[in-house]
Structure formats: C-alpha cells, structure tokens
Structure 1
Amino acid sequence: MNSEYKYLKFFPKPFLEDLIYGRVLPIIGAGFSKNAIFPIGKSIPDWDQLGREFADSISGYNYNGAIDAISAYQHQFSRVRMIEKLTKLLLTREIRPGDAHKAFCRLPFQTVATTNFDFLLEQAYGLLQRYCRPVIEEEQLAIANGDSNEIALFKIHGDLHHPKRIVATEEDYDGFLNRYPMLSTYLANLFISKTIIFIGYSLDDPDLRQVFQMVKDRLGSLKRKAYTLRISSSGQDTARFNRRDVQVINIPLLPGKSYSTVFEEVFEELRHYWVTNFPAIATITEEDPLMEFSASRDGSINGRLVYFSLPRDLISIYKKYIFPIVEAAGFAPITSDDILGPNAQNNAAKVVALIERSSIVVVHIDNFNPSFELNMALSIRGTGKKIRVIVVSNIAFPDSLRSKQMDFILEDIDIFKNIDEFSGQFEQAFEVMSSEFKEDFKSESRRLLDKREYKAAIISAITQLESRLRNNIDIVLKIPIRIVPLTQLLKYAIEYNLLDQNDYMNIKNWMSVRNQLVHLDGKTTPSQAKLIVEGVHTILEKMEPN
C-alpha cells in the first residue's frame, strides 16, 4: 500500500477489496450532517437534543427519549406541525454541504443509503455536477438505476419534502417493515450483496437500530460483515459495536485536525485507492491502453491515454477514422467499453479511473449522451492536473457549458456527411496536442526511472521507441503505417537501415521484458530498468535526423 496514505492502514483489507470491486454500500446517519456549513452561531442538535427540543414544547410532559417526545408532540399538535418543527430545528433551509460531504460524493459509489431527512447529499452531488436520484417511494424502485452514471440515493426514512414518508415517531418505526415491504425487501437484497459501512451513527441512534432490525428480520445469520467509520471512538463504544457484529474502523483525530477535515482526508484517500486499483481488477481489451495502465504512474507524470466518452452508435466510426489519427500522434485511445470490470453496474468507478489516468479527454455530446464525463474532466483539471479537453457536439453546444474552459470545441458537425472534414479537424487538434506533450513524452521514461517506478519506466521507453519507429517508417515509405505491431515495425526498420542488427536484437529482448511486465505481472530490477531506458535513449539519439 502507498506509504503516503495516512488513514487507509486503519481499514481492513477485506473492506478495501470490497470497495474496489464495487461491493460496499455506505449508509449515512445524522451525525454526518454535523460536517455541514452552518450559519454563524447556529448548529443542529444531536438525536437526544432534538427530542428535548420537542419535549420542551409539550406542557407537563416528562422526557422519556427522543422518539417518545416526537410522538407525543405529533399526537398533541399534528403531524404537519411536527414536520415544520423538524425542518426548523434541522436548519434544512440554511445549511450547506461542507468539504466532508463533497469529498464523500467524489467517491464513485452508484448506490448510497441514508436515514437523514435533509438534502445535504443531493446538494453536494449537485455541486459536483453528478446526477443524484433520490429514491423515496416504492414506485421508484424500478427506475432507480436508469443511467449508468447516476447515483441512486435511498432515503430510507424519507425526507422533509415527503411528510408522509418521514420515519420519526414510534408508530413510524414500528410500522416501517409492514408499511413498505417492497422497499424493505429491496434494501435486504442490497445487504445480502453489499458490505455495509455506517457513517455518522451512534449506538443510541434509533435509525441504526431500525436498520439492524431490518437486517435481522430479513437475513438472520446470512448478513455480510458490517463496519462503522468512527473518529476517536472510545474503547467502550467500540466494544458495544463489536457485540452487535459491527466492526469499528477507528480513525484517530490527529492534532490540529477537525472531525470534518479528517473525514475529508479519509474519503480522498479512499477515492485515490479505489480509482488507482480499479484497473488491476479489470480486463483491458486493447493493447496500447493496457500498456499505459500497466505502467501504474502515480499521477504526477502524464501518460498517453486519451479517454473517449462516446454515444454507443458512434464508437465504431471513431475507432475506424479517429483512433488511427490519435495513435499516429503517439497516444493510446480508449473507451469505457474497452474495460471489462468485475462489477458491470459500477460504471462511475471505471469512468473516474479512466479520466484520472488520461492526458486528454474527448467528449462527444448529443441529446442522448450526458455531460457527466465532461464535468468530471473539468473538475479534475480544476485540481491542477494537466489534462486537455476536446468537446465534439453534433448539436448546438449547450450555453451552460460554453463558459467553461475547453481546449477544442468541434460543434454542429454531421459526422456521417462530413467524415473527411471531421477527421481533418481531429488531425489538426492532435498535431497541437502532440507538440504540447512532446517534451513530456521525450523525458518521461527517465523521470519515471528517477522516481523509482521501474516497471513504468521500461514500458514508457518501449512505447516511445515504437512511436519514433512508426514516424520514421512513415517518412521512408511516404504512407502512414498506423495499425502495425512493433515486431513488424522492427522488420521494416532493418529493411530500410533504420536500425543495425545489434540494436534490433536488443530491442527484441527488451520487448520480451516489457511483455512479461504487462501480461504476466513480471518483476524487474533497478539495474535492468536503467539498462533498458538508457539503451532505448541511445537508439533514439541515433535515429535523430542529422
């Protein structure tokens, strides 16, 4: 595990494995809402404080717990007044999602559950321009995952926009399983297939107990391992959770850190771990992208990946006419269809991994292709990563996106009628891109060597050599040689005296090392990596024009 991680060592390995395989279901409780941004001088009450606020409004009432107080208030003043008071006490109209909420929503979950009444998660996803579909009514279950990039947010206890669905009183809790049998069964199925992690719950929280009861009634002993994420949990609380078969992931509160900051940093590490390790469990069907993913760069050095976000009916056209242009410029084009993940339902993790590993993102927008990938690319670029964005639109480019900084915008293009013009525009764009990244690519293998990323250095050096051979042979033959394997390029190079026999044999040996690293997860040594990288650069210098 990356030694730069501060918090992941506190997470059990089985949990981290479930995370990258898309088998984790987070359930968010009321305690997490305390990480929101509040108006100055205001805060939201915890569960017990909430109950006492209701109790203080009931003349002659002796406090007997939050649920009893809320139930008594509703009985005396009506459900409408109870909902109004909840809305006021929870500051629903005034609070905004904090950095911890936004960091959580950057995790590429596609299913999230919460027992909270507020709208902080929906607002945080909206700020990140990720589409979030709240699932509240049983009738919504059939359409919860209509889009492979959307987040299905199960609001188990309803929210303040749906007063009839709120679960807050004794009657609400007692009748939940019978009143919402389809939702209970659906959630039980999630509990069977997913590893649950509770965030923002205490053992005295009735929401947590109600979820426990749902699991017990529906699954018995068949439930998977459950976890709770806690910061500085006491030994007593940890023991109490353990007695309920919930393993505590206990994160220390480091000096000078707030709870919100720790949550933010934890989620950022989990996200980095997830998207970095996702390719290792996926099957990459194209050779050049496989080379790039096998290099396992740390993100500080730009690779050659170009991610294409395309409507399905245009993938074959792009692969026939555009991908050869991209490859000739020294890049490795890839679509999400070129990666077969172990969990086909979690498309978001795959897309985020692809965008974060790419130097260029090409997004084709039409009426049927949402701009999730475009927003994600611009968001990642906003963090300082060097990433270029090309937008293609066969419709009028949306005004909402025109103000954002794109490197190239190709719009109002009918690909089917003007494929030559379309290809020409891409050729011009990638000539600019190739020139911009040329120096990065030229020194990349040596920089990787200096960073002790030996496997990546070897793969990068061989890729650079292949690109130079392809360009030089194009010049000699006066025709583009695009879809030709490296072994054939070497034969051309010998035939046209671009390489001598000694260099040819060395390259063949180095290719064998590279292939073992990529396809057989082979190992290398610092000395072997240095020999190959420097050997490749010596050959490249010989191939420079006089």
Structure 2
Amino acid sequence: MVDQAIKLLGSNDPELLRLRGSDLQILEYFKIKVGDLAPLTHWLSREFSMATDSDILGSPILSELVELDRCSIFYTTNYDDFLERALRKSGRPTQAITAERSIAHNRSDVEVVKFHGDFNSPMEMVVTESQYMDRMRLENAMDFKLRGDILGRAALFIGYSFRDPNVNYIFHLINRLFANLPDSFTGRRAYIVLTDPSDFERRLFQQRNIEVISVGSNDRPREIANLIREMRS
C-alpha cells in the first residue's frame, strides 16, 4: 500500500521518501497531498477482490480457523474480507463488525471484528499515523468490546509482533486486564504464535503474561495450520 502511495505521488526517489519518514507518515503525507485516501483504498480493494473463494479456502491457516467451532469471535487488523468469506463458505453464519452499530445481535453468528476497519467502511479505516494515534486511545465502543471479549476467554495471537505499535499497545492492555484475574488452568490466558522465537521475544512476551508458542520457519503457514488442528483435537 505504501509502495502504491509513493507511485501515485509521482516520487522520483521512493527510497529517499522512506528514509525521511515511516510508512504511516508516508500515508499521512499522501492524505494531505491528495485530500483523502480513496485512490489507495479503491486500489487495495480491487487487489483483494481478485481472490476467489477457492483461493481463500486454499489457505492452510484459513481452512483450519473456520473449523474451530468453539471459537466464535475473531479479531483482525486486516482490511480484507477473506476470513468472513471463508467462514460463510464453510457454513458458519458470520457478522463483520467495524463499529458499534454492526455488533452482532444474533449470538449464533460468528463475529469477525475488523479492528482497523474494512473496505465497506472506508471512513473508519485506520491507515495513517494520526489515525493510528487516535485508535491507540482505545476509548471507543470497539475497545470496550475488546475488553469484554477478553474476560473469561483465552486469546491466541497469530501473525503479530512487537513491531506493530497499535497491537503492541493491545498486548500491554491485555497484560493489565489479566494481571489481577485468577489464573487459567494452564497459568496463562493469552498466547502468541511466533516463528523460531528468540530469547528476546520469549522474555518480552512472558513479561506481559503472554505465552509464546513456537512454530518452524520451513513452511510457516502449514506449521500454523497444524497447530490450529492440534488445538481443535
């Protein structure tokens, strides 16, 4: 998305632009120069729309996630609709949630909470630096929902790390929420899947009461899919 923003801006030296600012700052600059993010969000939506249902269900991770019939709440920071499409194609009624007004009232529906918005609600998408900063205040209805959904459940993070400041803050929030709660039978309430984790990563996550689950790097999607299958069984 940042590459496309630089291309649309007509920059003659994209590497120089990256040296001068972060990805989020480049997207902020794009919004200032162009006036809005529509050229980018429309382009990204078109790119994702090319994926067929068979493409999506062919994903090892998605094909296993939809089989977690005891899991009815998924959070994602992605904008695409791949997860909800996979759930629906597998026969599971699903509600995508981007704001309080779209929270599912039918408790039999699987909830896919789009924490950074999606293409159906472009004005609520979190893309630029200022939008990330606003999101990190964690004061709106979606944030209260996150707090409520975490209580009484175990949380599993797939595909995240400390490199995302927004998600890193959520890790901090979870640590605070779980700090004064009774331990689960395993002693942990939150887990994260990491590829060949280092001692650095293990210790930082464990300090936040998040247990690291290690998978190999030879075929990461397949390794994660196998892990999800083992959880189900």
**TM-score of the pair, normalised by structure 2:** 0.78
Q: Answer yes or no: is 1:71 the counterpart of 2:28.
A: yes
Report the equivalent of 2:184.
none
Q: Answer yes or no: is 1:86 the counterpart of 2:44.
A: yes
Please report how far the alpha carbon of residue 87 of structure 1 lies from its aligned counterpart in structure 2 after TM superposition: 3.0
Please report how far the alpha carbon of residue 56 of structure 1 lies from its aligned counterpart in structure 2 after TM superposition: 5.0
Please report how far the alpha carbon of residue 263 of structure 1 lies from its aligned counterpart in structure 2 after TM superposition: 2.0
Kindly report which structure 2 residues correspond to 1:348-427, keeping only aligned pairs within 5 A, or say none: none
Report the equivalent of 2:185.
none
Residues 219/269 of structure 1: CA separation in 2 closer, same or farther (3 Å cut): closer
Report the equivalent of 1:198.
157
CA contact (8 A) 2:202 2:212 kept: yes
Distance, in Å, in 2 between the alignment partners of 1:259 and 1:175 is: 33
Kindly report which structure 2 residues correspond to 1:531-546, keeping only aligned pairs within 5 A, or say none: none
Kindly report which structure 2 residues correspond to 1:178-189, keeping only aligned pairs within 5 A, or say none: 181-189=140-148
Bigger mean CA offset, 95-104 vs 230-239: 230-239
Q: Which amino acid aligns with 1:146?
A: N
User: What is the aligned counterpart of 2:224 among 255, 258, 263?
Assistant: 263
Q: Name the % identity.
A: 21
Distance, in Å, in 1 between the alignment partners of 2:97 and 2:216 is: 34
CA contact (8 A) 2:64 2:228 kept: yes
CA contact (8 A) 2:195 2:220 kept: yes
Residues 225/84 of structure 1: CA separation in 2 closer, same or farther (3 Å cut): same
Distance, in Å, in 2 between the alignment partners of 1:226 and 1:220 is: 9
CA contact (8 A) 1:70 1:82 kept: no
Report the equivalent of 1:118.
80
Report the equivalent of 1:136.
98
| RMSD, matched Cα | 2.7
CA contact (8 A) 1:231 1:252 kept: yes
User: What is the aligned counterpart of 2:191 among 221, 227, 231?
Assistant: 227
Gaps spanning 5+ residues in structure 1: where?
1-49, 273-546
Please report how far the alpha carbon of residue 170 of structure 1 lies from its aligned counterpart in structure 2 after TM superposition: 1.5
Residues 194/263 of structure 1: CA separation in 2 closer, same or farther (3 Å cut): same
Distance, in Å, in 2 between the alignment partners of 1:191 and 1:264 is: 23
Please report how far the alpha carbon of residue 250 of structure 1 lies from its aligned counterpart in structure 2 after TM superposition: 0.6
Could you say what secondary structure the match of 1:118 adopts? Answer: coil
Kindly report which structure 2 residues correspond to 1:307-386, keeping only aligned pairs within 5 A, or say none: none
Please report how far the alpha carbon of residue 92 of structure 1 lies from its aligned counterpart in structure 2 after TM superposition: 0.9
Runs of 4+ in structure 1 deviating by more than 6 angstroms, as ranges, are: none
Q: Which amino acid aligns with 1:198?
A: F
Report the equivalent of 1:418.
none
Report the equivalent of 2:2.
51
Q: After superposition, what is the alpha-carbon deviation per residue over 1:6-36, rounded to whole angstroms, capped at 9, x for unaligned?
A: xxxxxxxxxxxxxxxxxxxxxxxxxxxxxxx
Residues 128/168 of structure 1: CA separation in 2 closer, same or farther (3 Å cut): same
Could you say what secondary structure the match of 1:75 adopts? Answer: helix
Report the equivalent of 2:17.
62
Residues 99/145 of structure 1: CA separation in 2 closer, same or farther (3 Å cut): farther
Q: After superposition, what is the alpha-carbon deviation per residue over 1:289-311, rounded to whole angstroms, capped at 9, x for unaligned?
A: xxxxxxxxxxxxxxxxxxxxxxx
CA contact (8 A) 2:156 2:192 kept: yes
Larger radius of gyration, structure 1 or 2? 1
Residues 238/66 of structure 1: CA separation in 2 closer, same or farther (3 Å cut): farther
CA contact (8 A) 1:73 1:82 kept: no
Q: After superposition, what is the alpha-carbon deviation per residue over 1:375-425, rounded to whole angstroms, capped at 9, x for unaligned?
A: xxxxxxxxxxxxxxxxxxxxxxxxxxxxxxxxxxxxxxxxxxxxxxxxxxx
Q: Which amino acid aligns with 1:79?
A: L
Q: Answer yes or no: is 1:164 the counterpart of 2:123.
A: yes
Q: Higher relative CO (CA 8 A, sep ≥ 6), structure 1 or 2?
A: 2
CA contact (8 A) 2:215 2:224 kept: no
Residues 179/243 of structure 1: CA separation in 2 closer, same or farther (3 Å cut): closer
Q: After superposition, what is the alpha-carbon deviation per residue over 1:486-515, rounded to whole angstroms, capped at 9, x for unaligned?
A: xxxxxxxxxxxxxxxxxxxxxxxxxxxxxx
CA contact (8 A) 1:229 1:251 kept: yes
CA contact (8 A) 2:178 2:189 kept: no
Could you say what secondary structure the match of 1:154 adopts? Answer: strand
Please report how far the alpha carbon of residue 220 of structure 1 lies from its aligned counterpart in structure 2 after TM superposition: 8.3
Q: Which amino acid aligns with 2:201?
A: D
